[in-house]
Amino acid sequence: MEPGYGGGDADPRGARRPARRRARGAGALYWAIGAAALALVVLVWNVRTAEDDSGVSGVAAHSTTAPDPAASSGADADEAPVRPAGEQALLANPLYETGRLAPLPCPAPELEARDPASMERFLDAVADCLDETWQTQFERAGIPFDPPSRVFWTEPGTSPCRAYPSTAGAFYCRASKSIYIGTADVVDKWNGAEDSVVYASLLAHEYGHHVQGESGLLDYYHEQRRHEPDAGAQNVWTRKSELQANCLAGAFLGSVAVSYPLAEADRETIREDAAATADRQGSTEAERTHGSAANSVLWIEHGMERQDPGSCNTWNVDAGLVQ
């Protein structure tokens, strides 16, 4: 959902999600196979980063060659990393030039969705993977990075952005640099979905807003959005932010698919959820914050395929891709 700087934003996550009752079948066999395959994936990763994969038509061009981590920062080792600012942070962010995400292991535990303790363990494990993945990528970009704080609530509370429980079930608050998720509320919001990939995708999306913040683009985004004369014009910016977070979530999920396997049924679940969290048909421009179902699915699929932040530049693409 839209990253907050403070204040009570309306819930942009839309209607309740369709029920998903199928348990994820990633048992011990998956992890044994994943562990054996991970070494091979790491070995060929640098070769794959140079491949010229076909991407979504109209998506901004980006570097397909993984840069040297020491050279990508463009600064001497003694210089402190600098966070990009202004329009450059939005359109030409150094993060876009870092290549594919490293295929780091993500041994997420089995999930009992209706057990809040199990949900918290699962979210913490996936968040640990997200921390390591994005820390590595930011180091390559030469941008400072601090992982977000985590608030996985079971009781009511207050953040600088809003009180919770929230009707969204989950949100990111830039003012506290924290991700908030209700361990029971989010299951109710998703109608008791048991497939863990639903919650991994949700967490990765909210984490995507933190990536936007740490890369410097959220400051410029909020500044420009505030200058727009009405909600419809502001939502042109909001949709681009949300669709970029979708793509960044997809990039993460694709990058850890060896140790957190995604069967075709899991990918279909991700696509269905992306469509369900999109704007409803018939919404007014003042209500349209997350993009059409087609574009919501397009960007998360694009992220899973490319696994590259540079493929997620929603700020410099054809308008039809961010409607």
d(CA 206, CA 181): 9
pLDDT for position 4: 62
Interval 32-55 mean pLDDT: 39
Predicted confidence band of residue 1 (pLDDT cuts 50, 70, 90): low
Predicted confidence band of residue 25 (pLDDT cuts 50, 70, 90): very low
The amino acid sitting at 202 is: L
Q: Does the pLDDT value for residue 60 go beyond 90?
A: no
Mean pLDDT of the chain: 82
Among 5-9, 82-86, 145-149, name the most confident range: 145-149
pLDDT for position 292: 95
Helix (H) or strand (E) holding 224: helix 217-226
Interval 85-99 mean pLDDT: 96
Percent of the chain with pLDDT over 90: 72
Task: Specify if 97 maps to a domain.
Answer: yes
Predicted confidence band of residue 71 (pLDDT cuts 50, 70, 90): very low
pLDDT for position 220: 95
Full residue range of the structural domain in which residue 131 is found: 28-49+61-72+88-322
pLDDT for position 112: 97
d(CA 240, CA 218): 11
pLDDT for position 187: 96
Predicted confidence band of residue 2 (pLDDT cuts 50, 70, 90): low
Task: Specify if 102 maps to a domain.
Answer: yes
pLDDT for position 167: 86
d(CA 277, CA 296): 8
Interval 12-26 mean pLDDT: 38
pLDDT for position 81: 82
Interval 35-58 mean pLDDT: 39
Interval 138-159 mean pLDDT: 97
The label of the residue with tokens 């699962």 reads 122
Per DSSP, the residues of 174-206 read: TTTTEEEEETTHHHHHTTT---HHHHHHHHHHH
d(CA 102, CA 256): 8
The amino acid sitting at 233 is: A
Task: Specify if 225 maps to a domain.
Answer: yes
Task: Specify if 140 maps to a domain.
Answer: yes
Of 191, 211, 238, 190, which Cα lies nearest the Cα of 9?
A: 238
Task: Specify if 23 maps to a domain.
Answer: no
pLDDT in tens, 108-140: 899 999 999 999 999 999 999 999 999 999 999
pLDDT in tens, 162-221: 999 988 899 999 999 999 999 999 999 999 999 999 999 999 999 999 999 999 999 999
Q: How many domains does the chain have?
A: 1
pLDDT for position 192: 95
Higher pLDDT, 54 or 123: 123
Task: Specify if 125 maps to a domain.
Answer: yes
Q: Are 271 and 304 in contact (CB under 8 A)?
A: no
Tell me the two tokens of residue 277: 């969290």
Q: Does the pLDDT value for residue 98 go beyond 50?
A: yes
pLDDT in tens, 223-248: 999 999 999 999 999 999 999 999 99
Q: Please count the residues of the chain.
A: 323
Task: Specify if 19 maps to a domain.
Answer: no
> Residue 43: CB partners within 8 Å, gap ≥ 6?
none
Task: Specify if 14 maps to a domain.
Answer: no
Q: Does the pLDDT value for residue 303 go beyond 70?
A: yes
